[in-house]
């Protein structure tokens, strides 16, 4: 499997933006000249995130089909175009260039893995293409994106703060974090250290090199700190190896990892005795909402992952923003986004109903399958709930939603 390779820095992102600026600005002008509106998905159809990408795309397809069946957007049928990040920054950039330059998409949604989102972000803001992502690294919305980036995934600070509180409430005395080099690795350690330190608890952190066949030396090193609660920070391929090495090392403390890594694929790859008792966390969809029920129907399952619900919301939000703006063009959609996602408008949970209300001159307030879609001034989701589960005999069992 191909995993994110390398840390894309702010300087690298800005250099890429300068090199691409002229061509992408020209593409934005062409898009504004009456072409049928195109919405793009850029999801991990392959690579470490490949188990999520297809269902994320399917959510967007369903939204576009529903809108087109109801008459379309601004008098035209919406076209959906798709790319594959391969869960790799370089591949993500190549796919994004095609979606922007060739397909001339008005917006891109669904980028997963912070390194991939960071890599494609400059292409989007330079071409005035809206980008809505499910990546959590705090650094993403600190880029000079001019409002062209929003995200439904809670930032690392919000995630790690809530997860550390959960760990402390579970009675942990000495915490540890272990994972590969990613944009959220060191911030995760720093935030955990700050929150746990305020409670008088110690935290050990270890960042390892990805793409290794064993992490036994790294496991032995972190276990020398004698943690009773160990948090994983990697993706599925490396988490499989780390869990196997922890089991072989005889670790008896509590293990907790992100649900995007400790997933069904991981459980299928390891014996039950290796995964027994492992805990997971994830942003929780709004499982009581009517929008969540719609996503369940689209996918034919009662249990929908948070990224799939978020992309359902991405597609609805982007089409509503274009309808409110009166044009399927990035800058206009950016300016209209918060008018359809927060405020005093009539509550809606899908673009079809919202577009009808907007055509009547009414205001709307979209709340979706992932929860309320309220964004702060830099594009971060304002609040989130989290779901904690535990593995028992190869199956996930709910522990708590907070």
Say whether both 115 and 14 belong to one domain: yes
For residue 1, tell me if it sits in a domain. no
CB atoms within 10 A of CB 4: 31
For residue 380, tell me if it sits in a domain. no
For residue 245, tell me if it sits in a domain. yes
Mean pLDDT of the chain: 92
For residue 377, tell me if it sits in a domain. no
- Residue 34: per-residue pLDDT: 58
Q: Which residues contact 213 (CB under 8 A, 6 or more apart)?
A: 241
Give percent of the chain above pLDDT 90.
89
Residue 10 has pLDDT above 70, yes or no: no
- Residue 100: per-residue pLDDT: 98
pLDDT tens figures, 274-289: 999 999 999 999 999 9
Say whether both 149 and 198 belong to one domain: no
Place of tokens 């079809």: 352
- Residue 229: per-residue pLDDT: 98
Range with lowest mean pLDDT among 27-41, 140-154, 356-370: 27-41
- Residue 201: per-residue pLDDT: 97
Q: 36 falls in which pLDDT band (50, 70, 90)?
A: confident
Say whether both 252 and 317 belong to one domain: no
For residue 276, tell me if it sits in a domain. yes
Q: What's the rounded mean pLDDT across residues 291-297?
A: 97
Measured distance CA(351)–CA(331) in Å, rounded: 19
What order do you get walking across the sheet with 371-372 strand by strand?
Answer: 346-348, 364-368, 371-372
pLDDT tens figures, 329-371: 999 999 999 999 998 999 999 999 999 999 999 999 999 999 9
For residue 392, tell me if it sits in a domain. yes
Say whether both 41 and 135 belong to one domain: yes
Say whether both 22 and 144 belong to one domain: yes
For residue 378, tell me if it sits in a domain. no
Q: Which residues of 44-66 are buried (b: 16+ CB within 10 A; e: fewer)?
A: bbbbbbbbbbebbbbbbbbbbeb
Q: What is the pairing mode between strands 149-151 and 371-372?
A: unpaired
**What's the structural domain count of the chain?**
2
Q: How many helices (H) and strands (E) does the chain have?
A: 14, 15
- Residue 5: per-residue pLDDT: 43
Q: 383 falls in which pLDDT band (50, 70, 90)?
A: confident
For residue 97, tell me if it sits in a domain. yes
Say whether both 269 and 314 belong to one domain: no
Using a cut of 0.85, tell me whether the model's pTM lies above it. no
CB-based contact 201:256 (threshold 8 Å): no
Q: What's the rounded mean pLDDT across residues 93-104?
A: 98
Closest CA to 14 of 109, 146, 135: 146
Closest CA to 56 of 135, 150, 138: 135
The three-class DSSP label of residue 215 is: coil
- Residue 23: per-residue pLDDT: 42
Owning domain of residue 332: 10-154+288-372
Residue 163 has pLDDT above 60, yes or no: yes
CB atoms within 10 A of CB 97: 18
The three-class DSSP label of residue 201 is: coil
Residue 172 has pLDDT above 50, yes or no: yes
Say whether both 104 and 167 belong to one domain: no
- Residue 159: per-residue pLDDT: 95
10 versus 402: the higher-pLDDT residue is: 402
Measured distance CA(267)–CA(270) in Å, rounded: 6
- Residue 157: per-residue pLDDT: 93
Q: 227 falls in which pLDDT band (50, 70, 90)?
A: very high
Say whether both 186 and 231 belong to one domain: yes
Residue 32 has pLDDT above 50, yes or no: no
CB-based contact 159:231 (threshold 8 Å): no
Say whether both 18 and 45 belong to one domain: yes
Residues 312/317/319/324 CA torsion (nearest 10 deg): 160
Q: What's the rounded mean pLDDT across residues 91-109?
A: 98
Say whether both 24 and 142 belong to one domain: yes
Say whether both 248 and 301 belong to one domain: no
Give percent of the chain above pLDDT 70.
92
Q: 6 falls in which pLDDT band (50, 70, 90)?
A: very low
**CATH number, residue 237:** 3.40.50.2300
Place of tokens 């195109």: 38
Say whether both 89 and 14 belong to one domain: yes
């Amino acid at each position: 499997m191909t995993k994110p390779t390398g840390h894309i820095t702010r300087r690298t992102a800005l250099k890429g933006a300068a090199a691409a600026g002229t061509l992408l600005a020209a593409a934005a002008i062409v898009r504004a000249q009456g072409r049928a509106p195109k919405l793009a998905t850029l999801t991990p159809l392959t690579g470490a995130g490949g188990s999520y990408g297809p269902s994320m795309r399917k959510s967007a397809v369903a939204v576009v089909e529903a809108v087109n069946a109801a008459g379309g957007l601004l008098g035209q049928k919406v076209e959906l175009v798709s790319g594959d990040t391969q869960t790799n920054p370089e591949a993500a950039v190549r796919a994004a260039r095609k979606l922007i330059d060739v397909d001339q998409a008005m917006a891109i949604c669904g980028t997963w893995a912070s390194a991939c989102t960071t890599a494609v972000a400059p292409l989007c803001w330079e071409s005035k293409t809206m980008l809505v992502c499910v990546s959590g690294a705090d650094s993403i919305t600190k880029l000079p994106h001019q409002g062209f980036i929003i995200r439904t995934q809670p930032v690392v600070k919000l995630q790690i703060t809530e997860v550390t509180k959960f760990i402390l409430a579970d009675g942990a005395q000495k915490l540890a974090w272990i994972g590969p080099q990613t944009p959220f690795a060191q911030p995760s350690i720093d935030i955990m250290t700050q929150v746990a330190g305020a409670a008088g608890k110690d935290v050990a952190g270890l960042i390892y090199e990805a793409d290794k066949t064993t992490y036994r030396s790294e496991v032995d090193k972190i276990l020398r700190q004698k943690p009773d609660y160990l948090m994983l920070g990697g993706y599925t391929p490396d988490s499989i190896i780390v869990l196997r090495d922890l089991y072989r090392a005889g670790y008896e403390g509590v293990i907790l990892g992100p649900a995007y890594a400790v997933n069904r694929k991981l459980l299928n790859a390891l014996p039950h005795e290796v995964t027994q008792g492992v805990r997971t966390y994830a942003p929780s969809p709004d499982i009581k909402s009517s929008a969540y029920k719609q996503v369940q129907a689209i996918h034919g399952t009662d249990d929908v992952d948070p990224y799939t619900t978020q992309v359902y919301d991405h597609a609805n939000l982007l089409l509503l923003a274009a309808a409110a703006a009166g044009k399927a063009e990035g800058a206009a959609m950016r300016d209209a986004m918060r008018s359809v996602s927060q405020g005093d408008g009539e509550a809606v949970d899908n673009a079809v109903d919202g577009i009808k209300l907007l055509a009547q001159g009414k205001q709307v307030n979209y709340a979706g399958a992932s929860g309320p879609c309220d964004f702060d001034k830099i594009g971060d989701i304002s609040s989130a709930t989290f779901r904690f589960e535990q593995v028992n005999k190869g199956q996930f069992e709910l522990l708590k939603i907070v």
